[in-house]
Amino acid sequence: MKKMLLSALLCFTSVILFGSDSLAVENRIYPEIFACDGVKDAVCIDGQYYGQYPMSDEQAESIGIPSNYDECYKLFSSEELSGNASALNNLGVCYLLGKGTEKDEEKAVECFNNAQKHGSIVAKINMASCYQNGYGVEKNYYTAFGYLSGMEDNNNVIVLNLLGDFYRNGYGVVGDYDKAIELYNKAAAFGYAPAQGNLGICYYNGYGVDKDYTKAIEWYSKAAEQGLADVQCCLAICYYNGYGVTQNYPKAVEWYRKAAEQGYILAQFNLGACYDYGYGVAQNYSKAVEWYRKAAEQGDVPSQYNLGYAYEHGYGVTQNIPEAMKWYKLAADQGLKNAENALSRLE
């Protein structure tokens, strides 16, 4: 029976062979740190919103301040800070993510637009991101590029990296790999992890440079060490397959785990597959199911199918046909033929 499980999963997943051609950073919205009258009024970094504390930026950044979304929304929207560009930008982030208030993408765009008119470079970047991704406005790469194109000389690493993405992908501008590499290099020279990761992608795929897995590993490693989950997964894939390094399953598992613990879906699936097959770790179906479940709950189709299979056959869990059918249906509803066949077999 165990051979049947391995055979079925091998047939479907081909196990841990997928990489990323672009980094998730292009979908990010950027908040700011600001202070008023010597008081640490608010911090907003990567979706974390912090309340009022009488401390310096350095002190606030060096300790873990508890989040309080409701209080920070009140602060950002207060009359006192109505003309503060950073507060307006952060208010836009609150609306866009639905933190401390109802999600409202159109209000978010209004806030970003007002903030950039008050001189916020970060808000200008966020306007570009809204037009790039269609947040609160109709997607328009040309408009998005227009917000960024005049800021290249500021040496803002976020701008340099995003412009690199636009030139690499031909978003709102004629595609130009050489220009993309130039921009990524500028941002990477400042130690900016997303740009380092993008250089890794360019060397991995041969975009604007000769394909060179060793160089890709070099850049992936710099970004992965800074905690960028999608790049950690790319690095794990290289170790798993022996691209640019000696094949090393335990090292692959190490990097998959780092990315998976940050909620990165592909890494969660691949870590589950490592436990499923015993690659780099002792084979453990219960652990495999644990990681498949994390990815499946985020909508990952292969993980939903594998979780259904585990429940159907009792691998790592108590056999439960209704539960198996539930996960098969979720995968089938997303168009997976294998899951449709499994459902037909069990109905």
Q: For residue range 232-265, what is the model confidence (pLDDT) as tens digits? A: 999 999 999 999 999 999 999 999 999 999 999 9
Q: Which residues contact 247 (CB under 8 A, 6 or more apart)?
A: 239, 240, 241
pLDDT for 204: 94
pLDDT for 13: 33
Least confident of 95-104, 110-119, 207-216, 313-322: 95-104
Least confident of 88-92, 166-170, 219-223, 255-259: 88-92
| Amino acid sitting at position 335 | G
**Averaged pLDDT score across all residues of the chain:** 82
pLDDT for 85: 84
As given in the structure block, the two tokens for residue 282 are: 């002792």
Say if residue 178's pLDDT is above 90. Answer: yes
**Average pLDDT rounded to a whole number, residues 51-71:** 49
Return the domain boundaries, the chain: 24-139
Instruction: Give tens-digit pLDDT for 147-159.
Output: 999 888 888 888 9
Say if residue 63's pLDDT is above 70. Answer: no
| Amino acid sitting at position 95 | Y
**Average pLDDT rounded to a whole number, residues 82-95:** 84
Q: Tell me which CATH code domain 24-139 carries.
A: 1.25.40.10
| pLDDT-based confidence at residue 131 (cuts at 50, 70, 90) | very high
| pLDDT-based confidence at residue 31 (cuts at 50, 70, 90) | low
Say if residue 277's pLDDT is above 80. Answer: yes
**Average pLDDT rounded to a whole number, residues 178-191:** 95
| pLDDT-based confidence at residue 113 (cuts at 50, 70, 90) | very high
Find out whether 238 and 263 touch, Cβ atoms under 8 Å.
no
Say if residue 43's pLDDT is above 70. Answer: no
If you average pLDDT over each of 17-21, 44-48, 87-91, 218-222, which comes out highest?
A: 218-222
- Please choose, from the candidates 96, 170, 166, the residue with its C-alpha nearest in 3D space to the C-alpha of residue 126: 96
Alpha-carbon separation of residue 12 from 9, 107, 184, 336 (angstroms): 5, 44, 36, 10
